[in-house]
Structure 1
Amino acid sequence: MHDLLSHISESLSSVFDSIAFFKPEVYLALLFIVVMITDLIFGKRSLKLCRIVACAGLLLVVYLDLKQFALILDGNHLIFSNMLLLSRSGIFFKLIIDLLSFILLLYFGWDNKLNGHQKGLSDLYSIAIASVFGLHLMVMAVNLLSIYLAIEMVSIASYLMVAYRTENAFSTEAGLKYVLFGAASSAIMLYGISLLYGFSGSLDIIFKYSIQHLSAVNPVSSSFAMILVLLGIGFKLSFVPVHFWVPDVYQGASTPVTAYLSTVPKIAAFALLINFISPFIFTTYWKGFDIGIAFALIGTVTMVAGNFAAVLQTNVKRMLAYSSIGHTGFALMAVVVLSLHSVSVLSYYLLVYALANIGALALATYFANEAGAEDVEEYRGLGLKYPIASVCFVIILISLTGLPVTAGFTGKLFVFSAVYGVYQQTHSIWLMLLMITGALTTVVSLFYYIKIPLNLFLKRKEMVEISNKKSVNLLILSIFISFILILLGIFPHWVLQLL
């Protein structure tokens, strides 16, 4: 009995000690409660107030993220009985997620269709804050149980966001598809987790003894368990072969929700993937399949499938959905050559990709609000009517393609350099295939990205209908993002010095 009491005392002491490293997440939990209570108290009048509270709260969380850099000067910290890991790269990922989420919360209210929802957007802000909390957990999770709980928390919030516009049949259908695919991937991942736990006898994947125990199991069995877990994580990353949900869900969801799903969960999923596979890569005990070769193959197929499918699309949102699959494949190049340098490169690439993707979707909303244009053909002649927005669209698409002098070019250059540096040492045919595919698919991406500038400036339309409502906020956001993409392309060290 005395031993049990002392164990409880030690556990409580460990929990209280961990809270000092968990302050941003504590504030996010409180922010979720405050936004929800604000909505309950003020009802339909709470829209602007909930938005102000959510945005101000996220800025406070960003400040707390920055303060966490001082906590890890003496190294990484495992907290809550080894469930979560606080590291420098993890803090940077959280910082990116919070800043992008702040922009997206502002963006929610600027979409005419979403803003016209009869229930208002107050619920959506509380769901988004809950999702950000789950994304923080995904970035820090290093225990099989915490990994599963974090992914499920984000998934449930994502299902609600996709189907938020219940009066829209297409949105409801997209939400249902997302739930079905998500439930299947969750079940697959949970089965893989149970197998890994049964084989290793531990939920802690970060420790060497867990991999040692796995090495005593038949390599086929342990590899099968690993593949199942990676498929579950891959659902969030949307790499091939678990990418089928992306086009329909992205097209069916409201454009700001599409911007959210295509950026911040993907960033958190990459951080989670790095945490999960690092112990298996940096050890000699793992006897299963070669993880580097597996991701080289997945990255190659994902780049090809995403970019070639995007060429065939006419709907702007659907085209950007397939484009995001291609970008996932390109980002996997940095995972294949996993190291501290490649993680820094990956962080930079994901930041500039996310900014550009949000900018592109914000401009898709702008043209939908102003001229009702949703397909590429409907953009004809709009470049002369909306010159500032159109020029910004061109800059953002140049960054997504990876052309100078934008941040997209710098990001792709860094990724290629990281892969080529490892190739010079190993002369791996898989790395060579990966680089060739990356270069070719970058050229292919020109064929679908150029459709938008072509229709904006070089094709004419007899009459363009202009709405009375001006989307000034979206225009300001697109100008800001365009400026940042050029600035980060010229001065990438502003970001890299934080890593």
Structure 2
Amino acid sequence: MHSLIPFIPGSINDTLSSIPFFLPEIYLTVLFILVLVTDLLFGRNSEKLCRIIAFAGLLLVIQRDYQQISLLFVSGRVNGQFLFGEMLLLNRVAINFKLIIDALAAIMVLCFEWDNRLKAHRKGLSDLYSIAIGSVLAVHLMTMAVNLLSIYLAIEMVSIASYLMVAYRSETRFSAEAGLKYVLFGAASSAIMLYGISLLYGFGGSLNLFSGNLLPGLMQANPLAVALALGLVLIGIGFKLSFVPVHFWVPDVYEGAPTPVTAWLSTLPKIAAFALLINFLRPFIYFEKWNGFDFKLVLSIIGIITMIAGNFAAVLQKNVKRMLAYSSIGHTGFALMAVVTYNSTGVAAVIFYLAVYGLANIGALALATYFANALDADDISSYKGLGLKHPAASICFVIVLISLTGLPVSAGFTGKVFVFSSVYSVYQHDHNIWLLLLMITGALTTVVSLFYYIKIPLNLFLKRTEILKNTFTKSQNVVVFGVFISVLIILLGIWPQMLSDLL
């Protein structure tokens, strides 16, 4: 105990100096408590107030995110600042990921009440808003985690919030089953990852990825044992990314969860997991003496298999949410292409691609909510003949699906061009066969995605049904939201610098 006393002043000074760089997370903590207390004070009548507080608080957090950029420049830490004993790393990449996450979170907070099935919950939505803010705080930590301990804790925080959100409508059998499956798969992946972390700590004697003896220690250990440990850690990260082979939970959970929760799970944790993967890979890539586990080879193979499995499985789906679940797996594999490049261009391409993917995916699921509200339509075949009866929502649905496919002139097309360009520029230099295979697979699976995305416009406008249910809910808010998302997708497709200038 006495041996630790000399280190206490330095630890206190490090903590105090880290606080100015941690203000968005402090604001999120205060916002979480504020929404929670509001719910406790006003009960079921607090829904609207909790939603307003959560939305306004997230806008304030976005403003604090931007202030962090200038703070890094003013303090002379352009390359990044380690926080709290090198547990976290704040740099421009992390800030960009946080900006995307906070913007999408603010949008989705508004969407929760638009789902009639979720809104009919006897407990109301106040609890869901506090869980959502807690989830945003957790994904913030994921974007900055650079210590194996902070990585594990951040993933667990996100997982706990996700479990609660998936099973929020626990009175329905399907939602309860989805929540249980998610917990079981999450617990298994968590245990596997923790075992991998313990092996890495045993080999290297440190949990810090950027300093200490971790990487030199791994170089001296048995290569097969190190490869096993790193593979186990990748499984834990891959659970959040939902790449093959840890993707089995996605279809059932996405279909069983309330649609706004599906939109949340398919965007925020996935985007944060990509930031975490980049942080995890960086020390191994830039450690000159590292010649062990070949991350480029492994991630290339995973990316190829994930693109093929996700897109071909989506073709067979009849349920809209299940189809979008498999398509999100395919998008994960596509984004891995740019991660494999290991350069700033690839990272910028990933950020842009994930931003426009998140926007389009939220739009698609919001419009799926519209048709579920109006006509209880969950399957693609139940969309027959609805295009002319609900033209605004149907046209918006087609636009967001065009973006998800990656067709001109949508933002999704621009994002895919950026990813292909980053991979091709690296391929020109080293002529790596796996990069070529990634590009070929990405192009072919983009064509395959047309076969399942086109099913929705086909049923909306080209197929007819004699019996149409009467609309019992117009959900005009969803239509206005769909128009906003569609216009934004087209604008970002024509002028991608609108988003690039903000990041």
Q: TM-score range by the shorter chain?
A: over 0.9
| Distance in 1 separating the partners of 2:16 and 2:288 | 36
Q: Taking structure 1 as reference, are residues 398 and 208 closer, same or farther at Cα in structure 2, changes over 3 Å only?
A: farther
User: Is structure 2 residue 217 aligned with structure 1 residue 213?
Assistant: yes
| Equivalent in the alignment of 1:297 | 301
Q: How does 1:356-395 map to 2 (within 5 A)?
A: 356-395=360-399
Amino acid at match of 1:60: L
| Equivalent in the alignment of 1:491 | 495
| Distance in 2 separating the partners of 1:430 and 1:60 | 43
Write out per-residue CA displacement over residues 201-220 of structure 1, whole angstroms, 9 at most, x where no aligned residue.
11101237421121011111
Q: The residue matched to 2:86 in structure 1 has which SS? A: coil
Residues 163 and 182 of structure 2 are in contact (CA less than 8 Å); yes or no, is this contact kept in structure 1? yes
Residues 205 and 213 of structure 2 are in contact (CA less than 8 Å); yes or no, is this contact kept in structure 1? no
| Distance in 2 separating the partners of 1:167 and 1:443 | 40
Which of 327, 331, 347 does residue 323 from structure 1 map onto? Answer: 327
Write out per-residue CA displacement over residues 12-64 of structure 1, whole angstroms, 9 at most, x where no aligned residue.
12111100000000010011111111111111111111111111111111110
Write out per-residue CA displacement over residues 123-156 of structure 1, whole angstroms, 9 at most, x where no aligned residue.
0100010010000000000000000000000000
Moved more, 280-289 or 8-17: 280-289
Q: The residue matched to 1:385 in structure 2 has which SS? A: coil
Amino acid at match of 1:91: I
Q: Taking structure 1 as reference, are residues 244 and 223 closer, same or farther at Cα in structure 2, changes over 3 Å only?
A: same
Residues 305 and 326 of structure 1 are in contact (CA less than 8 Å); yes or no, is this contact kept in structure 2? yes
| Distance in 1 separating the partners of 2:502 and 2:122 | 43
| Distance in 2 separating the partners of 1:380 and 1:157 | 37
Amino acid at match of 1:402: G
User: Is structure 2 residue 456 aligned with structure 1 residue 452?
Assistant: yes
Q: How does 1:80-479 map to 2 (within 5 A)?
A: 80-207=84-211, 209-479=213-483
TM-score by length of 2: 0.98
| Distance in 2 separating the partners of 1:64 and 1:177 | 37
Moved more, 456-465 or 354-363: 456-465
Residues 135 and 150 of structure 1 are in contact (CA less than 8 Å); yes or no, is this contact kept in structure 2? yes
| Distance in 2 separating the partners of 1:122 and 1:10 | 42
Write out per-residue CA displacement over residues 379-400 of structure 1, whole angstroms, 9 at most, x where no aligned residue.
0000000101111111100000
| Equivalent in the alignment of 2:54 | 54
| Distance in 1 separating the partners of 2:297 and 2:211 | 23
* Aligned CA-pair RMSD: 1.1
% same residue: 66
Q: The residue matched to 1:21 in structure 2 has which SS? A: helix
| Equivalent in the alignment of 1:34 | 34
1:496, CA displacement in angstroms? 2.1
| Distance in 1 separating the partners of 2:42 and 2:220 | 60
Moved more, 288-297 or 376-385: 288-297
Amino acid at match of 1:40: L
Specify every segment of 5 or more residues in structure 1 that has no aligned partner in the other structure, as ranges: none
TM-score by length of 1: 0.98
Q: The residue matched to 1:94 in structure 2 has which SS? A: helix
Write out per-residue CA displacement over residues 297-346 of structure 1, whole angstroms, 9 at most, x where no aligned residue.
00000000000000000000000000000000000001111111111110
1:497, CA displacement in angstroms? 3.2
Write out per-residue CA displacement over residues 419-446 of structure 1, whole angstroms, 9 at most, x where no aligned residue.
1111111111111111000000000000
**After the TM superposition, which parts of structure 1 deviate over 6 Å for at least 4 consecutive aligned residues?**
none
1:371, CA displacement in angstroms? 1.4
| Distance in 1 separating the partners of 2:385 and 2:169 | 31
| Distance in 1 separating the partners of 2:485 and 2:248 | 29
| Distance in 1 separating the partners of 2:501 and 2:235 | 33
Amino acid at match of 1:193: I
Amino acid at match of 2:140: H
1:3, CA displacement in angstroms? 7.0
Amino acid at match of 2:433: I
Amino acid at match of 1:390: S
Residues 375 and 472 of structure 2 are in contact (CA less than 8 Å); yes or no, is this contact kept in structure 1? no
| Distance in 1 separating the partners of 2:367 and 2:407 | 20
Residues 207 and 279 of structure 1 are in contact (CA less than 8 Å); yes or no, is this contact kept in structure 2? no
| Distance in 2 separating the partners of 1:244 and 1:301 | 14
Write out per-residue CA displacement over residues 180-232 of structure 1, whole angstroms, 9 at most, x where no aligned residue.
00000000000000111111111101237421121011111111110000000
Moved more, 38-47 or 180-189: 38-47
User: Is structure 2 residue 486 aligned with structure 1 residue 482?
Assistant: yes
Moved more, 16-25 or 210-219: 210-219
User: Is structure 2 residue 56 aligned with structure 1 residue 18?
Assistant: no
| Equivalent in the alignment of 1:70 | 70
| Distance in 2 separating the partners of 1:403 and 1:179 | 37
